[in-house]
Amino acid sequence: MKRRNKKDMILNGNMYSTLILLSIPIMINNLIQTLYNLADGIWVSKLGSVQFAATSFVWPVNFLFISIGFGLSIAGTSILSQLLGGDKYKEANEYAEQIIVISMITSIVFAIVGYIVSPFVIKLMGATGDLAKYSNIYLRITFLDMPFMFLFFNFNSIMTAQGNTLTPTILSGISALLNVVLDPIFIFTLDMGIAGAAVATLLSRIVLAVAGILVLFRSETLIRPNFKSFKFNKDRISKIINVALPSSVGQSGSALGFMVLNGFIASYGTSTMAAYGMVNRITSLVMQPASGIGAALTSIVGQNIGANQMDRVKEAFRKALIFTVTLGTIGCMLMLWKDKGIINFFMRSKDDMEVINQGIEYLRYSALFTPLMGIFSVLQGLFQGSGHTKYSMSMEIGRLWFVRLPMILIFKHFTNIGPTGIWISMSISNLIVCIYGYLIYRRDTWQQKVVDMETTI
């Protein structure tokens, strides 16, 4: 479908069809990435439960640094989609150039800093012994792929803003397939262990970033930055920061919260940490359709706000909710029905029954609140698409720092509850944040545009 036809579909087409057509590629992309994570987890779990736990333990640290990239990507999708909806193509190209340059500078700096501070951060989080050893090996290598990850974030936001969700999916699929092929080669054939999993990821992301840039500059798109007369523009940078900063703070705050959360989880032992990582991979798989709908909603909201079609924005929000709640309910029933079979499938090492038993318990709690995570994704898509990322920030930070972590700390004092207190706290925090997000939606303060459509920017 041509780019202008997609714009017409977003602004005038049947909303259910628009949501489906834009979200299916994102769902497939998310599914591919989740399957890769599951495959990666399965390969690493064959090394042992400590190595498996290490990959989950260090994830929030890496996510803390790449949150800036997420923030810039969200700002790009929001600003660019609103400009496209208002037919401001020249301004959209100039904004894209600013975003790409800012992303590259920050990603290189963060890659260097992250590589240096990795052992200190891991120690600060409370990891010791083999968990600290394997966590440091894995984390340091993953930091090296940060510039390439940021580049693809830029490519993805530019494509998503104009309704092209298929091309990023194709490239991500190729990258994930390459990763799955390289994993066993580097982990076992070359005998690199957990480092091999990180190296395989690094190589696949280099391929992904290069392919994305080639597509961006060699294909026909509504946005094609050229950098021939590039210079930093304070006004545009200010607008980008105003949208990106709250999102980055929200992502960073969430990552910090998960770092603290991982510290609590690790205090219960490696088995609890491994169960947590395994179930998170499983629930991520179930949640991919809802996440895809939330991501597709971002460009739909942005372009329709740019075109002054607020009724259509609200229609998209309502119908996206119907989709996600339905899909979440189906996923909930499936996980409750086949809980033991699912855990046994993804935990290939049968020697540690404690990991399996805790995994089953956590999966049951997660299943009950799966529909809420769909609602959370839709609310995030609405606020990010409108450019009012301060609301998505408050939802990200609030559910962890003001609900989940305090509850876990309270349950920590009840020795008879044990790790179950973690699973209960995580579930209840998702309920509370969805109620909070809906109350913000009812206030209508998110409807104001983040870029001026009346004059040239």
Query: What does the pLDDT read at residue 33?
Result: 72
Question: CA–CA separation, 176 vs 284, rounded Å?
Answer: 16
Q: Residue 10: phi, psi to the nearest 5? A: -65, -40
Other CB atoms within 10 Å distance of the CB of residue 439: 9
CB-based contact 173:26 (threshold 8 Å): no
CB-based contact 327:369 (threshold 8 Å): no
Query: What does the pLDDT read at residue 456?
Result: 41
CB-based contact 223:95 (threshold 8 Å): no
**Which of the 8 DSSP states describes residue 308?**
T
Tallying the residues shown for the chain, one arrives at 457
CB-based contact 356:343 (threshold 8 Å): yes
Give the Cα-Cα-Cα angle 32, 139, 205 (nearest 5 degrees): 40
Query: What does the pLDDT read at residue 146?
Result: 92
Give the Cα-Cα-Cα angle 113, 171, 103 (nearest 5 degrees): 30
Write the CB contacts of 20 (distance below 8 Å, at least 6 apart in sequence): none
Question: CA–CA separation, 60 vs 118, rounded Å?
Answer: 12
CB-based contact 201:181 (threshold 8 Å): no
CB-based contact 215:426 (threshold 8 Å): no
Query: What does the pLDDT read at residue 455?
Result: 42
**Which of the 8 DSSP states describes residue 403?**
I
- Give the closest residue to 344 by CA, choosing from 333, 334, 359, 330: 359
Copy the structure tokens of residue 258.
Answer: 């998960």
Tens-digit pLDDT string for the chain (457 aa) = 455 577 889 999 899 899 999 989 888 887 777 667 767 777 888 888 788 888 878 877 877 777 878 888 888 889 999 988 888 888 888 899 999 999 999 899 989 998 999 999 898 888 888 889 999 999 999 999 999 999 999 999 999 888 888 899 899 888 888 988 898 999 998 989 899 988 998 999 999 999 998 888 887 778 888 888 888 888 888 888 888 889 888 888 887 787 788 777 877 777 777 788 778 778 877 887 888 899 889 999 999 998 889 999 999 999 999 989 998 888 888 888 887 777 777 665 555 677 777 788 888 888 888 888 889 999 999 999 998 989 999 998 998 899 988 988 888 777 667 778 888 888 889 899 999 999 999 887 888 877 765 444 3
- Give the closest residue to 363 by CA, choosing from 440, 419, 300: 419
CB-based contact 276:282 (threshold 8 Å): no
CB-based contact 408:421 (threshold 8 Å): yes
Query: What does the pLDDT read at residue 105?
Result: 92
Query: What does the pLDDT read at residue 352?
Result: 67
What is the pTM assigned to this prediction?
0.79
CB-based contact 152:206 (threshold 8 Å): no
CB-based contact 61:110 (threshold 8 Å): no
Query: What does the pLDDT read at residue 454?
Result: 47
CB-based contact 15:315 (threshold 8 Å): yes
Query: What does the pLDDT read at residue 453?
Result: 53
Rounded to a whole number of angstroms, the CA Rg of the chain reads: 21
Write the CB contacts of 165 (distance below 8 Å, at least 6 apart in sequence): 22, 23, 24, 25, 26, 29, 159, 295, 296
At 369, which helix (H) or strand (E)?
A: none
Distances (CA, A) of 350 to 116, 194, 340, 365, 399: 37, 20, 13, 22, 34
Query: Which residue has 């309920």 as its token pair?
Result: 431
- Give the closest residue to 29 by CA, choosing from 197, 164, 216: 164
Question: CA–CA separation, 369 vs 331, rounded Å?
Answer: 10
For residue 144, which amino acid is it?
L
Query: What does the pLDDT read at residue 127?
Result: 83
